[in-house]
Amino acid sequence: MKKIVIPVVVFFVVIIASIIFAVSDSYTRVQYGKDTMFHRMTLDEGGTLEAEYDDVTTLVAGRNLQRIYSSLTVSEMKRIYKKPSWDPDTAIYLRFSDGAQYIIAEDPSVIDGVFILYTYKKENIRFTLSGYKTFDWIKRAIAPDGIYNDNPIIE
């Protein structure tokens, strides 16, 4: 009897753990999207978004904000659980006035791949994304001349 019960119990424990992991991962993605939308909405209420890349800091303005938001919320992002290897000197840093920070770093192991490292309060979430030219779009949106309008340089 024990020969049958133990494998069945182990099987059900593995199935339940898999379901819990999948639900938790899905919840984290949905919450990340909501948090990113919240940070974007704080900009409409007078908040600011400072972007830093290549030793130039800009105050992102206008429709460039929408381009950044759409680049940060692509549904095909995959959550990663280990700390990725990235170059902090070539990364893009986005700092919202409410304390949220996004780091967009190129993923050297994938063509057109990026890591998105999100930090807000005590939350640290990491994603990887490839195939959407995310790094190029965000780099163009935060540049002083922007995509849609100019972004003031912060000294």
pLDDT tens digits along 132-148:
999 999 999 999 999 99
pLDDT at 3 over 90: no
Of the candidates 90, 33, 40, the one whose C-alpha atom is nearest the C-alpha of residue 60 is 40
pLDDT tens digits along 72-104:
999 999 999 999 999 999 999 999 999 999 999
pLDDT tens digits along 113-129:
999 999 999 999 999 99
Q: What is the enclosing helix (H) or strand (E) of 113? A: strand 113-120
The gap between the terminal CA atoms of the chain, to the nearest Å, is 75
Buried b (16+ CB within 10 A) or exposed e, 109-146: eeeebbbbbbebeeeebbbbbbebebbebbeebbbeeb
Length of the chain equals 155
pLDDT at 8 over 80: yes
For the chain, what are the domain ranges?
2-154
pLDDT at 1 over 90: no
